[in-house]
């Protein structure tokens, strides 16, 4: 989300029962993103992918929350190459070496889950592979820094440090957000920051970690459609997003339940 949005509502902590409700849309999103890995190939259009996703979501009796959200015209955001975020699906076929971020929010019984993955159509340049791996690593390191007893600045600091070590920049205007009954709730989860600074992280918080990384200059502009945000220098971007839940003694990645993720954060599941 756009971090300039002033979310003034209070943080809504979730009970155990509410967390359980949020796992349902989260599991469906996880399954959808797993399924999509084999479908992102040269020649396919993002409109076809959008239609596939919408059918998948509806078949599971979930709602494609993004469709119609503030007038957004599709069930998924599809952001190829230099599109940083909020890309609208098109009828242009993916070319070999394109990278594409798919960002999807769904809900069941009014409870939301939000996740994004960057995929590669065919084989990409070494540079793009490096960017996608860096985005995964930055996201996971941010998640690992999100612990009860810490501060929200711990997350931004971890994301920023990891991105820089990987030779990438963070698009600072975009941030994660609380999630629950609403897609966007307090607090804002910045992707830059200082350890030990910011609001305390407490059990019951559910929020997203979703840094956008780029290889070039971290400056963006909005296209005339009012949605599509591209890098000014045309350099590619990559983003992963997970919905996570804070417990007293652990942090759960609701939208990615593979246990080994904590052991090897270099291991992007498909690269
Ligand atoms: N899923 C996005 C997020 O991570 C929100 C997209 S809003 C839309 O916050 F209107 F562009 F779809
Ligand atoms: Co999202
Ligand atoms: Co989000």
pLDDT beyond 80 at 5: no
Q: What is the pLDDT of residues 78-115, one digit of tens each?
A: 999 999 999 999 999 999 999 999 999 999 999 999 99
Q: How far is the CA of 103 from the centre of ligand 2 (A)?
A: 5
Are 209 and 189 within 8 A, CB to CB? yes
Q: What is the 8-class DSSP label of residue 9?
A: S
Q: Does ligand 1 come within 6 angstroms of the Cβ of 185?
A: no
Amino acid 3: pLDDT: 62
Q: How far is the CA of 196 from the centre of ligand 3 (A)?
A: 24
Are 229 and 222 within 8 A, CB to CB? yes
What's the pTM value of the predicted model, to 2 decimals? 0.96
Q: What is the pLDDT of residues 215-236, one digit of tens each?
A: 999 999 999 999 999 999 999 9
Q: What is the pLDDT of residues 190-211, one digit of tens each?
A: 999 999 999 999 999 999 999 9
Q: Does ligand 1 come within 6 angstroms of the Cβ of 113?
A: no
Amino acid 7: pLDDT: 47
Are 176 and 240 within 8 A, CB to CB? no
Q: Residues whose CB is under 5 A from ligand 2 (ion)?
A: 103, 114, 116, 241
What is the dihedral angle through the alpha carbons of 121, 255, 203, 152, rounded to the nearest 10 degrees?
Answer: 10
Domain covering 3-262: architecture: Alpha-Beta Complex (3.90)
Amino acid 261: pLDDT: 85
Indicate the SS3 state at residue 182. Answer: coil
Q: How far is CA 242 from CA 81, 209, 217, 234, in A?
A: 20, 6, 25, 26
Q: Where are the domains of the chain?
A: 3-262
């Amino acid at each position: 989300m756009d971090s300039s949005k002033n979310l003034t509502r209070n943080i809504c902590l979730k009970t155990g029962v509410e967390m359980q409700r949020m796992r349902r849309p989260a599991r469906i999103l996880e399954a959808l993103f797993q399924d999509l890995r084999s479908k992102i190939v040269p020649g396919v259009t993002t409109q076809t992918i959008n239609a596939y996703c919408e059918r998948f979501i509806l078949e599971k009796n979930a709602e494609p929350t993004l469709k119609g959200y503030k007038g957004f015209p599709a069930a998924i955001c599809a952001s190829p190459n230099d599109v940083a975020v909020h890309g609208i699906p098109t009828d242009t076929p993916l070319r070999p070496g394109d990278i594409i971020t798919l960002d999807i929010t769904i809900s069941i019984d009014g409870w939301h889950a939000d996740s994004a993955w960057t995929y590669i159509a065919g084989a990409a340049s070494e540079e793009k592979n490096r960017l996608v791996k860096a985005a995964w690593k930055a996201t996971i390191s941010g998640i690992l820094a999100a612990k009860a007893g810490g501060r929200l600045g711990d997350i931004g600091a971890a994301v920023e440090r990891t991105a820089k070590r990987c030779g990438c920049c963070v698009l600072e205007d975009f941030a994660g957000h609380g999630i629950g009954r609403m897609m966007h709730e307090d607090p804002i989860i910045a992707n830059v920051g200082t350890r030990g600074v910011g609001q305390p992280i407490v059990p019951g918080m559910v929020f997203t970690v979703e840094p956008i990384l780029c290889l070039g200059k971290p400056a963006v502009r909005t296209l005339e459609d009012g949605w599509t945000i591209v890098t000014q220098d045309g350099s590619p971007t990559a983003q992963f997003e997970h919905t996570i839940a804070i417990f007293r003694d652990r942090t759960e990645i609701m939208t990615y339940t593979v246990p080994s993720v904590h052991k090897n954060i270099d291991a992007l599941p498909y690269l």
